[in-house]
Amino acid sequence: MGLDIRGRSFLTLLDYSPEEIDSLIDLAAEFKNLKRAGIAHRRLEGKQIVLLFEKTSTRTRCSFEVAARDLGMGVTFLDPGSSQMGKKESLADTAKVLGRLYDGIEYRGYSQRVVEDLAKYSGVPVWNGLTDDFHPTQMLADMLTAREEFGHDLRGRKLTFFGDARNNVANSLMVVCAKLGLRYCACGPKELMPAGELVGKCRAVAAETGAELEFTDDPAQGAKDCDILYTDIWLSMGEPAELWERRIALLRPYQVNGALIAKAKPTAIFLHCLPAFHDRGTTVGEEIYEKYGLEAMEVTDEVFLGPQARQFREAENRMHTIKAVLWATLQ
Ligand code: CP
Ligand code: NVA
């Protein structure tokens, strides 16, 4: 398929061409078929990778672990409490050590600068498993899920992100939509719109690919003609809990509920990177209910459990797409 990204890091999709992104998603679909058919694909036997997590995770960690094991690799997991990084040892020194022991490094944490520096100093491929700015592996899963619904060519499909439109997931959606020629709509309050610098970069990409970018604070406008309704948590990891009150006040109108999804195309699907606050079944969800009387935040059960919901298929696709990235960069 002409995809050659051996030895490269995967830090943001801005670094990848539309053709490379396209090929990674195709490769993920092939790995998904192999897995479904029960055909072994231990193509990276003997290699070792390390997963560095400074924030919590379910899907990303498990997807990297399962994907690596399916490919025959060994995996080490390091959480914030169990490495010296940043406390007794600099980032550069840690990267130099890990680069000598491992064939690749996954990092989830705060600053995008950290993941860039890990790549700079380690000398091995580094994969961004989420920073404050970007969540690129999530995007491949999202686009694979969209393709499974709408077919291979997603150009012209409208994807609207409702909520905190300058968080890591929303930033990355704007990038991937620009790269793959979709219509991206950021729908949220004016103070939570993406940074001008990133919008500028995406506009330049869109000019090449035919993608369209739209920004609105009107939920009805966001839902109009929409093929993919996407939302995410209203307060991201690393943001202070004191912000909940302000965020709830700002983002309430952007909740994805039955009335909103009814304004989209009848064939539209709902995606969410997860985890989601769709009921009171979590400690945070219950606290928010007691304090603000909200049964759900960014999405209601009507949508989350409804016929248009695809978020669990999307979660499974994290593993297949991460496997594609591992294989393509380490082969
Ligand atoms: N979507 C996602 O990244 O999930 P985790 O935080 O569970 O890894
Ligand atoms: N925006 C969310 C995404 C979680 C996968 C966060 O950073 O917490």
Grouping H, G, I as helix, E, B as strand and the rest as coil, residue 295 is coil
**pLDDT confidence of residue 162:** 99
- d(CA 245, ligand 2 centre) in Å: 18
pLDDT tens string 262-286: 999 999 999 999 999 999 999 999 9
C-alpha span between 134 and 174 (Å, rounded) = 10
pLDDT average, residue stretch 235-259: 97
**pLDDT confidence of residue 85:** 80
Q: Which CATH architecture has domain 139-315?
A: 3-Layer(aba) Sandwich (3.40)
pLDDT average, residue stretch 249-273: 98
Query: What's the pLDDT band for 234 if we cut at 50, 70, 90?
Result: very high
Q: 303 and 256 in contact (C-beta within 8 Å)?
A: yes
C-alpha span between 239 and 237 (Å, rounded) = 6
Which residue, chain included where needed, has tokens 């909940």? 244
Residues paired with residue 308 on neighbouring β-strands, in sequence order: none
The answer, yes or no, to whether residue 228 has pLDDT greater than 90, is yes
pLDDT average, residue stretch 21-38: 98
- d(CA 44, ligand 2 centre) in Å: 30
Ligand 2 neighbourhood includes 165 CB (under 6 angstroms): no
Q: Which CATH architecture has domain 13-134+318-330?
A: 3-Layer(aba) Sandwich (3.40)
pLDDT tens string 63-107: 999 999 999 999 999 987 788 887 888 889 999 999 999 999 999
H helices present in 58-187, as ranges: 59-70, 91-101, 112-122, 136-150, 168-180
Domain locations in the chain? 13-134+318-330, 139-315
Pocket probe for ligand 2: among 135, 171, 231, the residue whose CB has the most ligand atoms within 8 Å is 135
pLDDT tens string 187-211: 999 999 999 999 999 999 999 999 9
Residues 6+ apart with CB under 8 A from 46: 72, 73
pLDDT tens string 296-316: 999 999 999 999 999 999 999
226 catalytically annotated? no
> Sheet containing 74-78: which strands, arranged edge to edge?
74-78, 48-53, 104-108, 126-128
pLDDT tens string 142-166: 999 999 999 999 999 999 999 999 9
Nearest ligand by distance to the CA of 164: 2
The answer, yes or no, to whether residue 1 has pLDDT greater than 70, is no
Q: Which DSSP category does 302 fall into? A: H
Q: If you count them, how many residues does the chain have? A: 331
- d(CA 259, ligand 1 centre) in Å: 27
The reported pTM is: 0.98
Structure-block tokens of residue 203: 């506009």
